Chains A and B, each alone.
Chain A
Amino acid sequence: MAGATAALAAREAGGRVVLARKAPGSSGLSGGAISVAEDPASMPDTPFAARSGVVESARRIAVTRPGHPYRVLHGRLDRLWTALEFATGQLSSVLAPPSGRNRWLLTPFGHAHAAAACARSMAAGDLAEVRGPLVVCGFEGHLGWDPWLVASGAERVRSLGAPETLAVRLDLFRWEDAALARPFDLARMLEAPGVAEEAGRLLRKALPRGAAAAVFPPVLGLDPGARVPERIAAEAGIPVAEMLSDLPSVPGLRLHRAIEARLAAAGVEVLQGEVRDASGPDVPAAVGGREVVARSWVLASGRFVGGGIERHGALMEGVMGLPVLASEGPFADPSVRFAGRSSASITLRDSRSPQPLLAAGLRVDEELHPLDAEGRTLHERVFAAGAVVGGHDPASDGTGMGVAIFTGWLAGRAAAGRAP
């Protein structure tokens, strides 16, 4: 997401852009939420309506979390909203526009998750907006999702403003091998003529009086063009949404495809292959066998899944060999060198604690230039964006997509030579 946002922002700023990658990014593993910031000052019993908006929440994170990229960029957080509107606008084929406050979306684990923006197919399931009973659906023929577990996520936040729920299993997929199908197969099955309609008819029969919306497992079609949620909704007579997805993720695949389509439409040249001889701007580098010379570089190579940060005995940045200096907790202090320490010594025993190892990445300045151990800028025209920037745990701290989009947008514009 960071790389695509940077490429699209640089393109919009008039730059000629090559996006080099060794594999599709980890956005394909996204569950459908664009998580930017959840108010750290809110209490567990603070109602949805009383929680601060997304940008204000990011400002509060900047105050409370030393080392977090929002802290580094706190002087520029007034542009966070513009960046978010830009990215969701570019991907409007699959993403619903953000409203300024968090949506609260159900997950397969029975949890309500905060997201500044989300997949279009999920917007109707916002617990803070649904007025009236919410029907949580599972499938009679498939054990993949337990609607009672999912619904418990809403029950736990009833007092915060979530609707009451009703869990039902629709008598769907009770044929041949559907019981054993993986999410992508189910998504394809629902696209077939008549199947989404059948789901809608079954749902209509199960609806309680006054039902306001229904939430389904996140398999409502691989192709948004198949209009599976809309077809179910038309048949059932109420809005239909998907819950967020774990892995493998159908919504993640849709997002990945939308990014691909947008990059192509915007004229971003995508080169696939390992990047070699990456010594920086104006020097030729080999990307999948092709030579590329660029005036500016944006490193948006991700964290461990993306491969931007690697650990083979010690932590290092994988493309340019930059030092890994930023983390959080006791290692937010830039004077503490931790990259060579054992994994046991840079993790905490309680997995729920912030984990410095999982928050490790590049240290950057306010312009997103990677810094060395002495705090010096490594190159005026090298920028870093997304999870390769350290100081936050993008996988689980609820700011991963926000940092990706914000730093991607800033870095892309800066790389194209346009002041933010």
Chain B
Amino acid sequence: MAGEASQGTFDVVVLGGGVNGAGVARDCAMRGLSVLLLEKQDLASGASGASSGMIHGGIRYMTSDRRVTELASRDAGYIRRIAPHLTFRIPFLIPFATHGEEATLLDRLTWYATEVYVGTYDLFQPLKGGKPSARLTAEELYAVEPSLRPGLHGAVTLDEWGIDGQRLCLLNALSAAAHGAQVRTWTEATGLVREAGRVAGVRWRDALTGEHGEARASVVVNATGGWSPRWGKSNGVLVPMRPGKGVHLSLDRRHGNYGIICTAVDGRQMFLMPHEMESIIGTTDDDYYDDPDDLDATAEEVEYLVEGVASLVPSVRQSRITRAWWGVRTTIYEYGVEEDDLSRDHRILDHAAEGSAGLLSIVGGKLASYRAQSEEVTDRALALLGRAALPCRTHEEPLPGGDDVPVASELAEQHGVPEAIAARLVYRHGSLAREVLRVADDDPRMKLVVCRDEGIIAAEVAWIARHENVRRLQDLRRRCRLAVGGCGGLDCARPAAQVVARELGWSADQLRAELSDLLEVGWRERRPVLDGWQLAEEELLRAVHRGLGGL
């Protein structure tokens, strides 16, 4: 896909390879439009890749935006249908805590209100295949989650779905490409081409090759997320937004099997949850008007998150934080509202009145609703193009690998790999795990385990390099979490780089440059959380990569 000339004419050019951009590209392509998707970095390298990794129904928005909750719940159900391999159940606990020793009347009223609230959310659960809530006594609560601090009075449960948001985004882009779209990552839209008050296309530049060109299209969709306000400004249109910085922390292992809803020092709700092979603490929400390319987590944000969780799970202070990661939410602009109270609804802006007819911007929205949002945008694009409104099928047609998902144990036996490896392959690739393992059938060396944290084998690295739109080594962070875990690439980075280099024909110097770039991204994420054993790991990493590798 990458590298093909994108000179030429399209129906629609989509800017931004986040979940909205990839979703729009997929829907447009499935409805017969010719599409070019441009992403200045890699797919899911912005907010889509830094989401909490849930397609939750948005229980928090039920009081203000019941429509958002319904939309998100319904679409979460669709995502489970089209990518069943990528979702997993996360049961949450909302513990009942008191400030003093004894529960006051107010405490009891709060618990009752919580139960009623979660009970109302139960009405939405069937839309996404979730289980109804349950009331746990204190005894039951400590039986399922012994790490909670003493003195809690029970809990109510809440069922949500976890997902790998980065792969969700990738699968949309791959599906778009399979339906004829051109997907160009690491390619920036440098400017809008306008003719007679209409957009006529975009100019683009490939960040890796320096190649540049112009793509003509009468509809341009701006789905650049947190970059939208700046991109709009430099292209003469207004994209109002309240960008909100959100920071998460990862722990080195699954803390338990339940997510825990906690209250932060300022009264905000936050969580600790098991997610794939690790645990996630999230999240902060603060207005952020600086450059979205220049984010870092601060010491204050890290402590805020740890403190909030420690109020219910004191042992989190002893756990190993492997990294902090962040993104910018693209929340709809409102004045005089706290960050948390901003609507998570979405808007589609038509910039015709600004002399840019044919330019649409999408603002706001949630990961869980990306598909419905994309459908709306595609409907608008079809209308602008004056095309017949073909029906949307993105909720019916499975994403790549989402059909006929194999059973890991059977796959393991057929191909002679450990079941743990097969399970991770099935999780990431669904039915395509069979194709990945065929690479190893032809070459037993490809069963070499590259990462024991994530269960990555050389065959998967090669397959991803061949089929998943990889242009840089760091793209594999988002394809299979290469060098993302606690080891930071100590074991996996070099062998994986060797495999990718062989597949993509990189020179040794290029391989070393890519390796260096991959490790630098990891360093940025670990820097704010270097403590305890993670600091010792950093010393080893430096010894190997800087000392021995000269990187």
**Which residues of A come within 8 Å of B, CB atoms?**
29, 31, 33, 35, 107-113, 141-144, 146, 148-149, 151-153, 155-156, 179-180, 244, 246-247, 303-305, 307, 310-313, 342-345, 347, 349-352, 355, 357-358, 393, 395-398, 400
Contact = CB atoms under 8 A, between A and B. Distances in A.
A244 B302 CA distance: 38
Given A109-B548, A112-B550, A244-B548, 8 more contacts: A29-B540, A113-B548, A179-B447, A180-B447, A343-B531, A343-B535, A344-B527, A351-B519
Interface string B498-522: 1101100001110110010001100
Contact of B511 (A144, A149, A151, A397): A149
B544 A246 contact: yes
A305 B508 CA distance: 31
Nearest to A341: B299
B494 interface: yes
Contact of B527 (A111, A143, A343): A343
Contacts, number: 144
Nearest to A140: B445
B524 interface: yes
Interface in B365-418: none
Contacts of A395: 539-540, 542-543, 546-547
A358 B448 contact: no
Interface in B217-256: none
Contacts of B491: 247
A142 B546 CA distance: 25
B508 to A, nearest CB: 3
Interface size band for B? 35 or more
B530 A311 contact: yes
Contacts of B495: 143-144
Nearest to A142: B445
30 contacts: A29-B540, A29-B543, A109-B515, A109-B545, A109-B548, A142-B445, A143-B495, A146-B498, A146-B501, A149-B498, A180-B447, A180-B448, A247-B490, A304-B535, A305-B539, A307-B536, A312-B531, A313-B531, A342-B302, A344-B296, A344-B528, A347-B527, A351-B542, A351-B546, A355-B542, A357-B530, A393-B542, A395-B542, A396-B546, A400-B547
A380 to B, nearest CB: 31
B445 A143 contact: yes
Contact of B530 (A144, A148, A343): A343
B532 interface: yes
A217 to B, nearest CB: 12
Nearest to A244: B548
B529 A343 contact: yes
Given A143-B445, A246-B548, A247-B544, A347 B296 contact: no
B410 to A, nearest CB: 21
Which 6 residue pairs spanning A and B have beta carbons closest together? A152-B508, A342-B299, A111-B550, A109-B549, A395-B543, A396-B546
Interface in B280-317: 296-299, 302
B551 interface: yes
Contact of A351 (B507, B523, B532, B544): B523
B39 interface: no
Which of B447, B520, B550 has the largest count of A CB atoms less than 10 A from its CB?
B550
B272 interface: no
A344 B447 contact: no
B444 A179 contact: yes
B465 interface: no
